[in-house]
Amino acid sequence: MSRLVLVYEPEDACRTRLARQGFPPHHALEISSYLAQSTDLALEFPAIDKACAARGVDFVPVPLDEARSVLTGVDPAATLVWTLTDGIAYFRGGAAPAMARLGGLHTIGADDSLFALCQDKFRSGAVLSALGLPVPPAGLARDGKWLVEPPVSSSGYFVKPNRLGAKIGIWPDSRCRRAEDALELSRRVHSAYRDDVVVQPYVAGRNVRASFLGVDPDAGVEALGVFFVDSGGDFQTMADSMALYGDTGAAAKAADAYDEPDLVPVAASQPGADRRIREIARALMEALGVKDVFSMDFRVEADDTVHLIEFEVCPGLPCFDFRAYCRSQWGLSLPDAMAETAARRLMAAAST
């Protein structure tokens, strides 16, 4: 029987490892919140299992630390590996597609080299810039010292950790006026998380999330979902993100502190920006090999100027925006969308 192996890194395993490395509990909690989608999606494993079984696929969710033993000795022709949570530094999910490649197994998603690239914002930005894509130029700082000085900016700067996601280390004052303020933020980030910071000129505009799941293996950029994400503020902070997902998100919902952002199709008001975003997605797919499942974050100005902020090869599948995308683009719930994607890939693999 064909099988879908979903590999994920749990939040609690990450917290335990960070504690051994000497991180205080509150910072370990913040860092591990990046893995909240593994907590949220686990609640739907029965629904995914049912959706897969209806399509003749055996669903096998596997914590990362058990993946090596599970993937050893399986039939490469009948096994598909889907990596749910990525990571190369604080998180370790990038090992899963590499293990799959060593075993000659089929995978959902990009090549494992891209898992490493998109987790390092500074290096990723350099590659995207070399491709001629509209990424803000960046400086890099470590604990109050410039490794690469940022360009002079009349609009001020935006400061974010280099290898952390889910808005970890982004505070209300992460937009600052002076380069000296950015260096002070780099000291705070290094003290809390031991990470460098990317320092970019602040770019105006509304936040946009572009999501993609190739339920149809032949789907292209026409299947991209492009939405403004209006959260009521200029940008989301770590506190905003932690209130939406995982263990901390569940607590926020129980306390009625959950405020889901609004999603508005970009094409409805700025079709030119929508077209440009799809052109950028096509460039990533053709030049970098981004495929199957991914997301991109943008800032879009009123005159249709588009700024590419970053891309992810492990988007938050159980997040509100990705669920909405599956419904609007494919007419499927998240479990059915995942099962249908896997079943079609396994069918294609069996015929080759």
Q: Are residues 81 and 150 in the same domain?
A: no
Q: Are residues 101 and 163 in the same domain?
A: no
pLDDT, one tens digit per residue, over 35-73 is 999 999 999 999 999 999 999 999 999 999 999 999 998
Query: Where a domain ends, among 185, 201, 217?
Result: 201
- Tokens 């590499």 sit at which residue? 98
pLDDT means per 10 residues, the chain with 352 residues, are 96 96 96 95 98 98 97 94 93 94 95 92 97 97 98 96 92 96 98 97 96 97 96 78 66 58 94 98 97 97 97 94 97 98 92 73
**Residue 176 backbone phi and psi in degrees, to 5:** -135, 165
Q: Are residues 99 and 157 in the same domain?
A: no
Write down the pLDDT at residue 147. Answer: 98
> Model's pTM, two decimal places?
0.93
Write down the pLDDT at residue 252. Answer: 53
What token pair was written down for 322?
A: 């990705």
Q: Are residues 183 and 220 in the same domain?
A: no
Q: Are residues 286 and 305 in the same domain?
A: yes
Does some domain include residue 341? Answer: no
The Cα–Cα gap between 263 and 266 comes to 9
Query: Please, what's the b/e burial string for 106-128 (b: 16 or more CB within 10 A of its CB; e: otherwise)?
Result: bbbbbbbebbbbbbbbbebbbbb
Strands (E), the chain: 2-8, 57-63, 79-83, 106-108, 139-142, 145-148, 157-161, 175-176, 197-201, 206-213, 225-230, 262-265, 293-300, 306-312
Q: Is 258 helix (H, G, I), strand (E, B) or coil?
A: coil
Does some domain include residue 131? Answer: no
pLDDT, one tens digit per residue, over 98-111 is 999 999 999 999 99
Write down the pLDDT at residue 251. Answer: 55
Do 212 and 294 contact (CB within 8 A), yes or no? yes
User: Which CATH number do you get for residue 215?
Assistant: 3.30.470.20
Does some domain include residue 7? Answer: yes
Sign of CA dihedral 313, 314, 319, 325: positive
Q: Are residues 196 and 213 in the same domain?
A: no
What amino acid occupies position 61? P
Does some domain include residue 115? Answer: no
- Tokens 């260096």 sit at which residue? 183
Q: Are residues 81 and 36 in the same domain?
A: yes
Write down the pLDDT at residue 236. Answer: 79
Q: Are residues 225 and 326 in the same domain?
A: yes
Write down the pLDDT at residue 308. Answer: 98
Write down the pLDDT at residue 160. Answer: 97
CA dihedral 114, 116, 121, 127 (to 10 degrees): -40
Write down the pLDDT at residue 146. Answer: 98
Query: Where a domain ends, among 93, 109, 125?
Result: 109
Q: Are residues 91 and 155 in the same domain?
A: no
**Residue 307 backbone phi and psi in degrees, to 5:** -115, 120
Q: Are residues 245 and 324 in the same domain?
A: yes
What token pair was written down for 343?
A: 């079943």
Neighbour count for residue 102 (Cβ, 10 Å): 11
Do 192 and 185 contact (CB within 8 A), yes or no? no
Q: Are residues 212 and 298 in the same domain?
A: yes
Q: Are residues 32 and 52 in the same domain?
A: yes
Q: At what angle do helices 64-71 and 95-102 cross, to 10 degrees?
A: 0
Query: What own/partner pairs with CB < 8 Å and gap ≥ 24 does 327-332 have?
Result: 328/225, 329/213, 329/223, 329/225, 330/213, 330/215, 332/215
Does some domain include residue 348? Answer: no
Write down the pLDDT at residue 231. Answer: 75
Do 205 and 299 contact (CB within 8 A), yes or no? yes
Write down the pLDDT at residue 35. Answer: 95
Write down the pLDDT at residue 88. Answer: 86
Write down the pLDDT at residue 254. Answer: 55
Residue-number span of the structural domain to which 46 is assigned: 2-109
Does some domain include residue 337? Answer: no
Does some domain include residue 190? Answer: yes
**Number of domain units in the chain:** 3
Write down the pLDDT at residue 269. Answer: 98
Query: Please, what's the b/e burial string for 27-52 (b: 16 or more CB within 10 A of its CB; e: otherwise)?
Result: bbbbbbbbbbbbbbbbebeebbbebb
- In a 13 Å sphere around the CA of 64, the CA atoms on its Cβ side amount to 22
Q: Is 180 helix (H, G, I), strand (E, B) or coil?
A: helix
Do 87 and 56 contact (CB within 8 A), yes or no? no
Write down the pLDDT at residue 238. Answer: 83
Write down the pLDDT at residue 12. Answer: 96
- Tokens 């993609």 sit at which residue? 212
Residues 6+ apart with CB under 8 A from 324: 225, 227, 263
Cα dist from 230 to 7, 158, 208, whole Å: 31, 19, 8
